[in-house]
Chains A and B, each alone.
Chain A
Amino acid sequence: MASTQGTSARVQRLTSLAAITLVAVTIGLSFGRVFDGRASTVRLVGMGVASGVIAWAFERRGLLVATVASAILVVVGLGLAVFPSSTWYGLPTLETLRAMGAAAIEVGEQARLQIAPAPPVTPLLFASTTAVWAAVFSCHSLAIRAGSPLMSLVPPAALVVFADSVLEDLVRPMYGVAFLLAAMSVLFADSLRRVQGWGPVWNGPGRRDRLVPAAGRGARRIAGAAVAVAVAAPVIVPGFGGRAVIDLSAINGEGGVRVSTLVSMASELTRGQEQEVFRVRTDTESYWRMVGLEYFDGVRWQRTDEPSVAVAPGQTLGEPPEGRTITQTFEVTNDLLFPEIPTAYQATSIDLDGDVSWFANSQTALINGNLEPGDTYTVTSVYVAPTPEDLRQVPFADAPDPSLTQLPQGVSARIAILARSWTEGATTMYDQVYAIQRHLLSDGYIYDTDVSFREDAATILEFLELTKRGFCQQFSTAMAMLLRSIGIPARIAVGFTRGDPLPGEQGWSVTTDDLHAWVEVPFEGYGWLAFEPTPGRANPTAATYASRSFAQSCETSAAGCGASSGPREGPGGGTGLNDPKRGFGVEGDPGLAPLGGSGSFDAGRSVTWWLSIALVAALAIALAVLLAWPFVRRARRRRAIRRAGPAPRALVLAIYDACCRDARDLGVPRAPGETPEEYAWRLASVIPVATESVGRLSRLAERAAYGPRELSSEDVLDAEADAGEIVRSLAELRTWRDRLPRRRPAA
């Protein structure tokens, strides 16, 4: 004995929820790849699922209500997932909103700076979670509300494409398979809805709600075959996975090297081919310093605001310290898309034909514009080479700027405890600094570029106590934070290591792989002195006080200090546990990074404008869905009327159905089981001015549905006119407030 009604509305809704959830999980997993670590992926998945559940929960309410609810709840979700410290028991506060505003402002800059897979810095995580949320909500709206499952796949597909385009790992096709499964689940849910709308479902004997398992069996077979075809695609489709026909990432088209010294310390070293930046000719090796970064906000190091001085070529940069003077001549060999001028520390004059500004506190020289291939300039610097004994005489002193000893809020006290334990027994400032450097260089810490780095203090602590793996950014940041935690001023210096010797002449060729970061600490009478906490690195300028063995060798070296500056950070190095492959802060955009603009630099593509486009596209899609929704709805109803055919009876019924739907959207839904006459009475009580139209349309609908006589074309025209009058009257009468809180059951 068969039974009818195979699937209840509840099961049908749960099926659509499962499909949307699968889409959300797939998007989260796919898009989460652009970030380091699993935590951000979990957040993205969680936000996507939450967006889907909220869209589903408000499925039977108006789109406007659902959108408003989603917008409110996304703020809550962002507070929990991205700005947890700013919330009050999980609820967003003004501080949360301010943080969101700040993050929104920084998205563009971070997108320009970060290399995918990027650390989950707050602005990017904020943008990504918002994009995922919007994509899932749009997907639900298009699939369930508009009944367009294919259109609903566009927003999620955009995010999958984005992730694919900025990453080049081997598992990408599997994300495509996962997305295929999600897409098919949306199609299946839509098909289920259409089958249920066809008519009563007669199942086989057994329990109810057998449409899903019965249809699901067939769906599984077909989906399995489709997945098999998709998995076999790399084999059967010629040119699968080849290079993009249109390399969108090259559209910027600028050649040159872009090095951001305002870099987030979370940036990884860029993987890729080595690119020469400049050549420096001098008899003394050194690190080629560009900038000192003094302010740490928990995300990145920045230069503090300070007044600058315009300097003429060869002008002395303040009072020169005591020490050995060295002269360097730089020859730029590539477009340097950054304003900082590399010099040996401490520069006392720069002879450069250009508009140069000098920032005395951070010892930074900027050029107004960029240096281009062929540009040359000469720098005079003074080596300050105190001995440890000299530095031990320097007493603890207040920092010239209190911010130099400040750490961001939320930094664990365990960092200070660790710093104190490491400096136990050290009585002078120098000994304490040296003790910390020594621990980082020798206490099981390993140079490793295959690590992730996040900005929060917990991760720093994790690096210090657990992982003990990292590269120059981790080591220098950790040392600076340790020093500041015990009240010793510290800052980060960014520049290049020595480079490769030029064949046949005294000088070095410096490439992107020589990018490096180290630590500077101020000592009264000597200025800011460099320290090197990164294993395998040795700063020639710090040889006399930061490396005793080096100092000893320096004394006997005919070439003077700097016979060896240690291995590189980049591919030219290799003394680390893993061969370091990535340049520090070099953006991997093929259009930006490669020397000479050859385009052969195949590092991870920059998210630069990609992320901005993705974010804008996601928001635009969401906005377009909102704006287009009334038109889509109207077009669908017109199409339904058109599809009703030429028979007046069917046309009148279609017009009546469309009118009922409009009335539902305007807050007067037809209740389940309500007869046309009962509904007409209720409508007439709401819009008495249209009583005649209501009654006439209702009678026409009844005649069309049940009457024996065929209707005429005049009846169709009457029905159209009456339906228009009813909708107009309702629209004039109903306010937004009336519409918002009403529950709208399906007509």
Chain B
Amino acid sequence: MLTSKGVTLSLAGVSMWFLARLVGSPGLEVTGIGLAALPFLASLTIRSGSQRRIRVRRRLSETRVAPGTRLRVGLEVENLATTPAPMLLLEDALPSPLGRPARLVVTDLRGRGGRDVSYSLLPQARGVYRLGPLTIDATDAFGVSRRRARMDGYDELIVTPEVEDLSTPPDATTGRGIGAARARQLQRSGDDYYTMRSYQEGDDLRRIHWPSVARTGELMIRQDEASRRATGLLFLDNREAGLGREHTPAFERAVSAVASVGVLLTHAGFTIRLATSERPAAVYGGDSFLDALAAVGSTRVPSLASSITALRAASTADTSLVFVGAPPASQELPALVRGGAGFGPKLAILVHPVDPASAPPSRREQLQARATHATLTLARGGWDCIVMSPTMRLAERWHQPRERRLEFSA
């Protein structure tokens, strides 16, 4: 079919011919007739269906990447026809966070021939993306006619959240001990922490805890890390009312914090459970944890109450609890403190919904007051708290002493 340029050219040719007839200019008549015919002749060179005789396969160099990692998307273009293909304009649709659609031109594709072409992507934002569909435009050398085909094959690309290395302080000269201490505190289990359970046949008699036997009147066994793995429960308060919508700086910073702490615990041998405001805790292993975080979005759940209820039901003393979200409202804090009481070490990473430094003074005071209140309340309940703005990196805050953090948050 003719492009808009082709239609215009044809009409211009007809107009030229008509004008030439009016004024008696055979030379211009010839030109007008030639120009009027050109688009139709060009469309003949792009035979109907020629674009459908093109097969394209998409192949990603990686299907799971971290933000800022360049990947290559290869397209295998194959001409199934025996005749050379016309000029092909390929357009691979991309989700808007990945940028504009990728456009390529393939020329000189012979019959039964193929061509490997590619383009690169540099995803910056966490998410699960679908690449496609691919549009193929077969066009002529003058751009006056075009035939279009669409290939509906999709490929999935997972961009995981940013994971910060919390084991190494950014500034090697300071904070090494502080960060390590916080990690040990969070990972306290096994030799450092134990719990009791009833004796079961086959248990080592040397692990009977006699004071408990005396207190309870039944055989109690001391259980430590040597006998079971510790669990880390990561709770992301993904309410839109708190951190805002997904892909906002605060939300993404919170997701990154969950990912960073989760990876830290995973490396320590913890079993990771992930819960959000609308989803109960579920166990994730390996890459699935980051995949789940890549897909997490905001929710419009109004309150934390039901989530905390579910949290309490899952609480055990050998489970470390990590709460990541915006500083909770004052009426939510008591419930959160109660909900975390049954857990072992508890860490709250509170992310301001907006950067206080860029907010108006009144808003800044409000943010800081809320964070301070939350920090003090949680600290009284035995929580370790980190308060950070969306523009900060967790690794920086992780290795700062508590006093400075409190100073800052106050």
Contacts and interface: CB of A to CB of B under 8 A. Distances in A.
B99 interface: yes
B31 A191 contact: no
Contacts of A342: none
Nearest to B16: A157
A195 B87 contact: yes
A320 interface: no
Most buried by A among B29, B96, B107, B119: B107
Interface stretch (B136-144, B223-231, B308-316): B136-144
Size class of the contact patch on chain A:
35 or more
A222 B252 contact: no
Contacts of B22: 244-246
A199 B104 contact: yes
Interface string B5-41: 0001100100010011111111111110111011001
A709 B30 contact: no
Interface string A202-233: 11100000110011111101110111011101
Contact of B33 (A194, A199, A230, A710): A230
Interface stretch (A235-243, A252-260, A627-635): A235-243
Contact of A195 (B29, B126, B143): B143
Contacts of A649: 96
A243 B25 CA distance: 9
Contact of A180 (B20, B26, B35, B89): B35
A247 B107 contact: no
A174 to B, nearest CB: 8
A295 interface: no
A647 interface: yes
A177 B34 contact: yes
A172 B107 contact: no
Contact of B109 (A163, A204, A217, A653): A204
A117 to B, nearest CB: 15
B182 interface: no
Contact of A233 (B33, B89, B102, B109): B33
Contacts of B100: 653
Interface string A156-179: 010011011100000011011101
B247 A708 contact: yes
Contacts of A203: 107-108
| Majority secondary structure, B binding face | mixed
B27 A176 contact: yes
Contact of A165 (B24, B33, B106, B119): B24
A240 B107 contact: no
Interface stretch (B51-59, B110-118, B185-193): B110-118
Contacts of B102: 199
Given A183-B31, A222-B140, A222-B142, A215 B107 contact: yes
Interface string B243-262: 00101100010000000000
B248 A709 contact: yes
B108 A204 contact: yes
A242 B116 CA distance: 56
Given A176-B29, A240-B26, A706 B105 contact: no
B18 to A, nearest CB: 9
A198 interface: yes
A480 to B, nearest CB: 40
A705 interface: yes
A473 interface: no
Contacts of B107: 6, 201-204, 210-211, 214-215
A708 to B, nearest CB: 3
Given A204-B107, A230-B33, A649-B96, A163 B27 contact: yes
Contact of B141 (A173, A191, A201, A710): A191
B41 to A, nearest CB: 4
Contacts of A176: 26-31, 34
Contacts of B115: 2, 202, 204
A195 B24 contact: no
B127 interface: yes
A476 interface: no
B142 A191 contact: yes
A188 interface: yes
B99 A222 contact: no
A30 B24 contact: no
Given A218-B140, A237-B33, A708-B125, A199 B103 contact: yes
Contacts of B108: 203-204, 210, 214
B23 A161 contact: yes
B124 interface: yes
A244 B28 CA distance: 12
Interface in B42-58: 42, 44-45
A210 B26 CA distance: 37
A191 B103 CA distance: 16
Most buried by B among A230, A243, A647: A230
Nearest to A191: B143
Interface in A132-190: 150, 153, 157, 160-161, 163-165, 172-173, 175-177, 179-180, 183-184, 187-188, 190
A263 B45 CA distance: 57
B140 A202 contact: no
A202 B8 contact: no
B353 interface: no
Contacts of A202: 104-107, 115, 117
A631 B252 CA distance: 45
A309 interface: no
A101 interface: no
A369 interface: no
A248 interface: yes
B99 A706 contact: yes
Contacts of B248: 709
A494 B141 CA distance: 61
A226 B32 CA distance: 10
A707 interface: yes
A431 B318 CA distance: 140
Nearest to A177: B30
A200 interface: yes
A219 B141 contact: yes
Given A188-B142, A199-B103, A200-B105, A237 B23 contact: no
B30 to A, nearest CB: 3
B132 interface: no
Contacts of B30: 173, 176-177, 179-180, 230-231, 233
Contacts of B140: 218-219, 222
Contacts of A161: 19-20, 23, 25, 27-28
A200 B99 contact: no
A706 B23 contact: no
A348 B220 CA distance: 157
B86 interface: yes
Contacts of B103: 198-199
A196 B35 CA distance: 23
A30 B312 CA distance: 93
Contacts of A210: 107-108
A216 B141 contact: yes
B126 A708 contact: yes
B145 to A, nearest CB: 9
Most buried by B among A222, A242, A247, A248: A222
Pairs A-B, 4 closest by C-beta atoms? A244-B24, A708-B125, A176-B30, A199-B103
Interface of A: 1-2, 4, 6, 30, 150, 153, 157, 160-161, 163-165, 172-173, 175-177, 179-180, 183-184, 187-188, 190-191, 194-196, 198-204, 210-211, 214-219, 221-223, 225-227, 229-231, 233-234, 237, 239-248, 647, 649, 653, 705-710
13 contacts: A2-B117, A176-B31, A190-B143, A195-B143, A196-B105, A204-B110, A218-B140, A225-B44, A239-B21, A240-B26, A246-B22, A705-B99, A707-B125
Given A165-B25, A225-B41, A229-B41, 19 more contacts: A2-B115, A6-B107, A157-B16, A160-B25, A161-B28, A183-B35, A190-B143, A195-B105, A195-B143, A198-B103, A198-B105, A202-B105, A203-B108, A222-B41, A230-B37, A233-B33, A241-B29, A244-B23, A708-B127
